[in-house]
Each structure stands twice: as C-alpha cells, then as structure tokens.
Amino acid sequence: MSEYWIFTGTYGSADQEGIHILSLNSERSSLEKMVGVTGIDSPSFLALDAKRNLLFAASETMDGEVVSYRLDPQSLALKELSRQKTNGDHPCHISVDATGAWLLAVNYTSGNVSVFPIDENGAIGEMSDHLHHEGSSVRQDRQEAPHPHSIFNMPNTPFWVVPDLGCDRLFIYKLDTVNGKLLPQNVIPTSPGAGPRHAVFHPHQPWLYIIEELSSTITAYHYDRENGSLREIQQVTTLPEGYDKPTISADIHIDAAGAYLYGSNRGHDSLAVYRIQHDGTLIQAGLVSVEGVMPRNFVITPDDRCLLVANQDSDSVTLFELKDGIPVYTGEKLELYKPVCVKVWEVK
C-alpha cells in the first residue's frame, strides 16, 4: 500500500485552517493538500483511531481543550463530535489507548496529566483522572516547575511513560482501564538539565528511546514488560561534534523495520540518523538538513519509503525518500502556516 493521508496540526487560530489533510503517494513521492478545518485554536498535536475513523486534537492554549472529530473517508470532511477542557494550560501531547476507550493528555505549562473516556461514537467524556507532577531541575529558565511533554504507552503493557522536561524525570504509570485512573509505578531520573521530551519504542525489542530537548541527546533504555521498570543503556548526542550554537531537540521515531532511529534538531534544523545495533545501542549514520526551519515533528510512512517533516518557522512540510535509511530530499514542499504535527493514515 502506497497511498496515505497525512494529518497536520498547526499553531493556527480558530478562524484559520488549523488541521490539514494531505494526500501522499509514497511510490511517486508526491504530496498535495486536500482539505483544511477551522474552528480550533492551536491544534498542535493529533492522535488517530483509524479503525473508527476518529481524529483527536489538543488545543494548546491557556485553559486548553481536547477535541474529537469523525472523518468521512469519501469526502475527507472532519465533523466535530465533542470537546472537553483539560483543566490545565497548554496541552501539548495526546494519546489514545489500544482499546480506543481512553484519551490521555499532558498539560505542559501547568504540569499535569489528564485522562478522559471515549464513548463508542467517538465523543470525549468528562475527565476521569487528573494528576499533578512535582519537582524542578537545574535550568531555571526552562525547569522551574514540572513540564510533562508527552505520554506514550509501553507496547503490549498497561504502563505509560511521561517524559517531564521540567523536572528531568520519566514518570511511569499503570492505566486502570476500568476506571480511567493512572496509578503511579515508578519515577526515573534523567541527566540534570537534559529535559526529556518525546519517546519511541522499538517495534520488536524491549527498548525505549527518549529524546532530550535541552541537552540535544537521546537516551536508550531497556524496559521490563512485567513491571514497567527501565534500565539505561546509552546516551548519545543528536549534534555534530563541536557544534555550539543554540539548538534544541524535538521529535523521535524509528522505521517500521526497526533498523534506523531519527531525531529532529531545532536550530541546527536537521535530522540525526542512527543505526540501531543488536544490543539496542545507536551509531550515528548521518545528519540531514530538513530543508526548513524549526522541525518540531516528523513522521515515517509504514512502508518505510517516505519521511515528512513539519517545519514550524518556515511554514512548510518537506518530503523525503528513505534510501538505505537515509532521508533524501525529494524537492516536494507544501506551504502551511506553522505546522507542528504530522500523523500518517494508511488509505485502505
């Protein structure tokens, strides 16, 4: 299968088209805009439930919201189904659990995590849990308080990992799928000043990789599926040797084959590429320009043919082919206002 829809979240205002649907043919490396949706402020992060034709968006504002939509696969129209307040400021990341029954969100500025039920029609119900992190770390300009930045499910387990940039910790929770409660399991300290941001799990092995925004590093862990514990394996830089200009890391992904890992640098405006070794360690295989400015988020197509980057400050989505794991720019670039999230939906 080579046809995909690419859903793009942005920092657009409610009167602008904030969510876009793009069409991608990965065999031809062609990309075009199909439709856009208004009515939501700063839909900066999206989550998909393709089985039920549902899309969820975080409205990253003060007193933020989460919003659900139903997709019409024929017209590509998105119909709003529901919205709920997150009881927090600037929700910046959301995830849907494997059952499709729970939506989990992190509120960056206010330092808390929220859980919501999702009914069979895709409507988001009233919040079922709300947890506040405590702590700070060494960077007083960015780490004066907790700032959870994402929430990811540990594959085939009830455990969830929340990287907290503000207090340099990984919070591990167990999701009670009956009552929609997050039960604290463990707290893992990271390097002081690292600022853990996003996570990715290897598709075949029990390895977790955390990209750390402030130190521009990636730390690899072995995780235990039975109890959710972590053991550090390695830490590597996302930058070239000797680079000393301002830059911060953002997003992290692994190809479907589990052979290559990628991390984005904002400031250096690049993708760091690594080969994944048999023991889970990483060897850098290259640094590739994103052909844009401030690559906040990127995505790899399931067939490992293409990689797309959302370049926030150059108002562009750039398209790359993956050749022996290395992104090669195709020349395809779409202009969109402040794109910050890209998600891929395989067209059946």
Determine phi and psi for 313, rounding to 5 degrees: -90, -5
What residues does 297 pair with on adjacent strands? 310
Q: Which amino acid is present at 18?
A: G
Q: Is residue 203 part of a domain?
A: no
Q: Is residue 92 part of a domain?
A: no
Residue in 89, 19, 12 with CA at minimum distance from that of residue 57: 19
d(CA 197, CA 194) in angstroms, rounded, equals 9
Mean per-residue pLDDT pooled into runs of 10, the chain (348 residues)? 91 98 91 96 98 98 98 96 98 97 98 98 98 98 98 98 98 98 98 98 98 98 97 98 96 98 98 98 98 98 96 98 98 97 94
Cβ count near 242 (within 10 Å) = 5
Number of domains the chain contains: 1
pLDDT per residue as tens digits for the range 251-268: 999 999 999 999 999 999
pLDDT per residue as tens digits for the range 114-132: 999 999 999 999 999 999 9
Q: Is residue 332 part of a domain?
A: yes
Q: Is residue 87 part of a domain?
A: no
Q: Is residue 318 part of a domain?
A: yes
- 207-212 sheet: strands from edge to edge: 196-201, 207-212, 217-223, 230-237
Two structure tokens written together for 230: 């972590």
Output the CA torsion sign for 271, 277, 282, 285.
Answer: negative
Q: Is residue 196 part of a domain?
A: no
Output the CA torsion sign for 76, 305, 268, 170.
Answer: positive
Residue range of the domain that includes 1:
1-39+293-347
Two structure tokens written together for 214: 């402030």
Q: Is residue 202 part of a domain?
A: no
Q: What is the dihedral of CA 278, 280, 284, 290, to 10 degrees?
A: 120
Q: Is residue 304 part of a domain?
A: yes
**Quick one: pLDDT at residue 140?**
96
Two structure tokens written together for 285: 């295989």
